[in-house]
Structure 1
Amino acid sequence: MLDANIKGQLKAYMEKLQQPIELVAAYDDSKKSEELKQLLEEIEPMSEKISLRTEESTEVRRPSFAINRVGTDIGVRFAGIPMGHEFTSLVLALLQVGGHPSKASQEVIQQVQELEGEFEFETYFSLSCQNCPDVVQALNLMSVLNPNIKHTSIDGALFQDEVEQREVMAVPSVYLNGQPWGQGRMTLEEIAARLDTNSAEKEARKINQKDAFDVLVIGGGPAGSAAAIYAARKGIATGIAAERFGGQVADTMGIENLISVPYTEGPKLVAAMEQHVNEYEVDIMNMQRAEKLIPAEQTGGLHEVRLANGGSLKARTVILSTGARWRQMGVPGEEEYRNKGVAYCPHCDGPLFKGKRV
């Protein structure tokens, strides 16, 4: 199942396990179950902290497997075989359930740990989807951090009957407690903020306490990042307010038109961009949607930018770099059926339409 090179790398990662984990497999008579069995039997010997057993319950999806921290309620479940883009999700799940710490910020970790309520998440993914791992990995980590959160990742191409019954027509599609909850790429911060009912109010209070900026950039794409870097290099008090740092670039898998870079991928470019911005004293305010600009002429002093959460930012200079959106065709029903039959990525959503007339 795994070639020698990948086995070697995975075995090295498994040395980082701090607590014993148990792989609990649910098989059936399918070929995919045979592949899953082979994969799990290759993983088990990689560490003394890994054990493998067969699931007895008849109520779980098959083929599937859980990764559980022994003696606790902490764990995640994959329905299918997490290869392709999801192989990294498998590796992270093994490590995090095994006690290896996450690189997420302490502020977000605490926010997740303090969430109250019972959250049963299910995420439908496809192995060829480049946006799905972000959602799968975020929800897996949340289920490790908070025992009230459970998460199952489901390969939509493998569970076609379930996909048709729930009318899943785009991935990633997230269900919470049996009901549709979200679609598309979402970060850990975005999911946590949405579940934390007081997050907008708390964030608005923090925003309102900030001093006025010399330069405030609205938008966190390439243009906004470049503007912030050039301002901050001059010692100017600079801030970025962005609905999502990276913008549309984060959703673009292949980028071949960036001068001096023959090829890169959107998530890599955004990560490098954020690292570059963070080398300077730039206040990055992510998940902030600007709704209104009040010019200095009307305030009698500074420009004011009002945000959707009720917060307000002030600055001597405001740079608008709001970027782009996916182009719409303007045909009837396009918006209403977005992600409900109107799809944007043949790699991500294509497997859900296998064998159907499109």
Structure 2
Amino acid sequence: MDFTFKDEQQQFADALRRWVDKDYSFEARKKIIHSESGVSDRAWATLVELGMLALPVPEEQGGFNGSAVDMMVVMQELGRGLVVEPYFATVLGAQFLKLAGGQEGLLERVAAGELKLACALGEQQSRHALNDVLATDSSGAGRISGRKTVVLHGGQAGAFIVSVRSTGAQRDTDGISLYVVPCDAAGVQVADYRTIDGQRAATVEFRDAPGKLLGEQGKGWPLLEATTDYGAALLCAEAVGAMDAIFAATLEYLKTRQQFGAPIGKFQALQHRMADMFIHLEQARSMAMLAAVKLDSGDDEERRRVVSAAKARVGQAARFVGQQAVQLHGGMGVTDELPAAHYFKRLTMIEITLGDADHHLERFIAQPGFKEAA
């Protein structure tokens, strides 16, 4: 498989990396994390200026109509820089708007950087099953009630994409509807908090809050599934960028840390562990690229199969590479002073976001043709 990016994609990546190296250092990031808002308006403005928000938006709404591979380039660099701004949450919400159609005004605001989005999809009982929905829309009246948990960057959003139950039983895929709910609408309460990886999330309570329907009433599952597959593929790309960075940091540490009068990188046992990390990283890179390519194939069955395979493999690799990096750093590997600990925490969160490795292995096995192929 050809992993060579186009010239314009590489230029995009280089521009992002220069910004991270110059203005988004590890120390600058720590200050942002510990600030009251947990994000930086200045960093967000830079992302807008670089065209990151316009990239996935259709040209008709002021965007560049970027492909999933274009987005992979961006997410890798954001993962490498451990960027904590609400970019992922916003572009995931924008994908809902794109696929649903009829949301041109909101997409124009996203492309201009004026609107941040958050996706309120999970609930306390649902874990990774996004079809497990108890929040309701008052039997189709568009009044949203229910509690959504771990809403990524919910406290920084201007609007929520919310999944609700219009009809059917709790775990039915039929009967799910999707709504856009302004964050300042009556009946919306947001409890913002910081997650272990320095990002922000929120518990959002909806109490008869007004919402605008996305797509068809009770027919939201295909849209929900397609969009979260898109999000899972983006997370795979971010994980690859984070693994690139933690691998490089670990290699540098092995070259400089002295033990018994020699750099510990000279010890063959540690060289073997670094080789194993590299293999996991490259396999993850292959699967992340494959997922990005297949997102645009138009084949729903293939998209489900490949995205779940990628999320499972990347999740396994993220766990292995992160744990090995921490161990090879010794006790320093878990301290707040070293980037390695922060990469490890972010990789851990990526692995459990939008379905962990076990969840996606089960989903992969459940796809048509698996048993016949086996």
TM-score, shorter chain, exceeding 0.5:
no
- TM-score category by the smaller chain? under 0.3
Whose strand proportion is higher, 1 or 2? 1
Q: TM-score scaled by structure 1? A: 0.26
Q: TM-score scaled by structure 2? A: 0.25
Q: Whose radius of gyration is greater, 1 or 2? A: 1
